[in-house]
């Protein structure tokens, strides 16, 4: 059963539980990465047999497999994918950065050049659920950015095939290639390349503890989006909120996995108690009741604060992945929110809307990292170069200042590189 407590009875750092894996994830992942680097495709196929229970002849999804999968997906769901893709494109197209040039000083040209990454790898989780939504959320911004090649890795089923919904989403999003592999070994293959798997410039997408650790270990060889942990939701709700709706929203994240965190912060003890009762009733109706119950029992909490302003303070301290403002006049509180991955405004905006259809990205910072990380965006798939041009006269006008600065830093060679042009 979810716990109810008054604010101050529990430390902030304990509200979102951070469960440390019982196994030595770091060492296991390090060994897997080294093995993939050494043995390439052979190692990948062995890991597929070990972890996914399937022996593969080919790691890449063929054109025939893709065509077969598309026939297996209902036309109605294809239409839903296309609607979601259109909304995601509309939102992310506003994020496009343009190159710029500055010519305000005589003889000086400066600018910034925005260039898309050549090849990116998208990790799409498998396991207890399929995530075609992640395909759309990760691939469409990369496509908008102008990446030349977008590849996906995702674990195969025991039949050696990828979930047809994932392949349909890949088709809608414009993904170039799809590979049948998951876990740390997939991250290693994307980072270092094998005979079959091309190495990429950046790896994005959520995954379990082994995937997160692998991304951490290959960072520097490739770029990554963020180190994502278990899913989180924090609902700030006032006494006018419907407890049935609040409970359902909390359970929508609790069903992700047993380590997920669902937290309600409210100024109403009556709402807190009603939501607790609703969670107990509704959780039994979920097909994933075992997962959701474990999440609620271990990591679920209801915090009763004195005021809604104090509830917002608690939310800012926790910097949750998902923040719902189920309050009257939610826009009155928007400027007070400083740290959250994605904010859902009002009583008719459940977090699930953002997972699938609204348009803003659902690949979000977790574990309090919303204090300094942002949602996945078009920015994640471009890099910026800067350039400078000075005429001789323009350099002459500043040469002594540059030389003085260099000498102050004890770098006479820097100073000489400027002054020698006028000797």
For the stretch 311-353, pLDDT in tens is 999 999 999 999 999 999 999 999 999 999 999 999 999 999 9
In a domain, 31, yes or no: no
Q: Are residues 214 and 238 in the same domain?
A: no
The whole-number pLDDT of residue 17 equals 57
Q: Is the pLDDT of residue 403 over 80?
A: yes
Q: Which of 322, 324, 351, 362 is catalytic?
A: 322
Q: Are residues 186 and 285 in the same domain?
A: no
| Structure tokens, 331 | 């826009």
Q: Are residues 344 and 411 in the same domain?
A: no
In a domain, 27, yes or no: no
Range of the structural domain that residue 396 is part of? 391-422
- Which 3 state secondary structure label does DSSP give 195? coil
Residue that has been written with the tokens 């965006």 in this structure? 377
Q: Are residues 211 and 236 in the same domain?
A: no
Q: Is the pLDDT of residue 19 over 90?
A: no
Distant-in-sequence contacts of 222-225, Cβ < 8 A, 24+ apart: 222/121, 222/190, 222/191, 223/117, 225/363, 225/376, 225/380
Give backbone dihedrals phi and psi of 5, rounded to 5 degrees, phi first.
Answer: -145, 150
pLDDT above 70 covers a percentage of the chain that reads 98
Separation of first and last alpha carbons in the chain:
81
Predicted TM-score (pTM) of this structure = 0.93
Cα 145 to chain centroid, rounded: 17
The whole-number pLDDT of residue 33 equals 98
User: H-type helices in 148-268, by residue range?
Assistant: 164-173, 183-192, 209-218, 243-254
Domain end residue (candidates: 197, 224, 251): 224
Q: Evaluate whether 369 touches 349 at the Cβ level (below 8 Å).
A: no
Q: Are residues 178 and 60 in the same domain?
A: yes
Average pLDDT over residues 63-92: 95
Q: Are residues 194 and 287 in the same domain?
A: no
Gap between the Cα atoms of 345 and 277, Å rounded = 24
- CATH number for the domain including 310? 3.40.50.1980
In a domain, 80, yes or no: yes
Assess whether 321 carries a catalytic annotation: yes
Domain end residue (candidates: 224, 239, 258): 224
For the stretch 113-164, pLDDT in tens is 999 999 999 999 986 678 999 999 999 999 999 999 999 999 999 999 999 9
Q: Are residues 113 and 173 in the same domain?
A: yes
The whole-number pLDDT of residue 328 equals 94
For the stretch 370-400, pLDDT in tens is 999 999 999 999 999 999 999 999 999 999 9
Give backbone dihedrals phi and psi of 23, rounded to 5 degrees, phi first.
Answer: -95, 160
Q: Are residues 313 and 268 in the same domain?
A: yes
Assess whether 92 carries a catalytic annotation: no
Q: Are residues 238 and 216 in the same domain?
A: no
List C-alpha distances in Å: 230 to 98, 256, 361, 368.
35, 8, 17, 11
Give the burial class of 218: count Cβ atoms within 10 A of its Cβ; 0-12 exposed, 13-18 middle, 19 or more buried: buried
Number of folded domains that form the chain: 3
Arithmetic mean of pLDDT over the chain: 94
Give the burial class of 96: count Cβ atoms within 10 A of its Cβ; 0-12 exposed, 13-18 middle, 19 or more buried: middle
For the stretch 26-57, pLDDT in tens is 999 999 999 999 999 999 999 999 999 999 99
Distant-in-sequence contacts of 39-48, Cβ < 8 A, 24+ apart: 40/189, 40/194, 40/195, 40/196, 41/194, 41/195, 41/196, 41/197, 43/185, 44/181, 44/185, 44/186, 44/189, 44/194, 44/196, 44/197, 47/181, 47/183, 47/185, 48/156, 48/180, 48/181
Domain end residue (candidates: 166, 200, 224): 224
Q: Are residues 63 and 186 in the same domain?
A: yes
- Which 3 state secondary structure label does DSSP give 78? helix
Q: Are residues 98 and 207 in the same domain?
A: yes
In a domain, 58, yes or no: yes
The whole-number pLDDT of residue 20 equals 57
Q: Are residues 242 and 165 in the same domain?
A: no
In a domain, 220, yes or no: yes
Q: Which of 255, 321, 324, 351 is catalytic?
A: 321
Average pLDDT over residues 350-359: 96
């Amino acid at each position: 059963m979810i716990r109810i407590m008054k604010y101050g009875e529990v430390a902030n750092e304990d509200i979102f539980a951070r469960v440390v894996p019982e196994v030595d994830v770091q060492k296991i992942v390090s060994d897997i990465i080294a093995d993939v680097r050494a043995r390439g495709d052979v190692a990948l196929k062995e890991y597929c047999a070990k972890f996914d229970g399937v022996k593969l002849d080919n790691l890449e999804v063929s054109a025939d497999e893709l065509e077969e999968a598309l026939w297996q997906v209902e036309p109605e769901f294809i239409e839903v994918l296309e609607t979601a893709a259109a909304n995601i494109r509309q939102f992310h197209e506003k994020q496009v950065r343009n190159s710029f040039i500055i010519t305000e000083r005589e003889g000086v040209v400066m600018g910034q050049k925005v260039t898309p990454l050549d090849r990116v790898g998208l990790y799409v989780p498998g396991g207890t659920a399929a995530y075609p939504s992640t395909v759309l959320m990760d691939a469409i911004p990369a496509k908008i950015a102008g990446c030349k090649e977008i590849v996906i890795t995702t674990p195969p089923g025991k039949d050696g095939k990828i979930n047809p919904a994932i392949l349909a989403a890949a088709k809608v999003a414009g993904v170039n290639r799809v590979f049948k592999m998951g876990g740390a070994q997939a991250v290693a293959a994307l980072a270092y390349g094998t005979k079959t798997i091309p190495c990429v410039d950046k790896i994005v997408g959520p995954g379990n503890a082994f995937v997160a650790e692998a991304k951490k270990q290959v960072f520097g060889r490739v770029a990554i989006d963020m180190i994502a942990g278990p899913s989180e939701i924090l609902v700030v709700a006032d006494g006018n909120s419907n407890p049935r709706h609040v409970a359902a929203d909390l359970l929508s994240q609790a069903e992700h996995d047993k380590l997920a965190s669902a937290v309600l912060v409210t100024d109403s003890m009556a709402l807190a108690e009603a939501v607790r009762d609703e969670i107990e009733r509704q959780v039994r109706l979920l097909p994933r009741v075992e997962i959701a119950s474990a999440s609620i029992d271990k990591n679920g909490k209801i915090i009763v604060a004195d005021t809604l302003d104090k509830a917002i303070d608690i939310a800012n301290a926790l910097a949750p992945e998902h923040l719902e403002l189920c309050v009257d006049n939610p826009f009155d509180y928007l400027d007070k929110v400083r740290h959250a991955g994605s904010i859902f405004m009002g009583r008719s905006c459940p977090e699930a809307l953002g997972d699938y259809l609204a348009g803003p990205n659902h690949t979000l910072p977790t574990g309090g990292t919303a204090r300094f990380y942002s949602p996945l965006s078009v920015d994640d798939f471009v890099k910026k170069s800067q350039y400078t041009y000075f005429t001789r006269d323009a350099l002459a006008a500043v040469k002594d200042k540059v030389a003085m600065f260099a000498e102050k830093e004890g770098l006479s060679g820097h100073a000489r590189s400027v002054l020698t042009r006028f000797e």
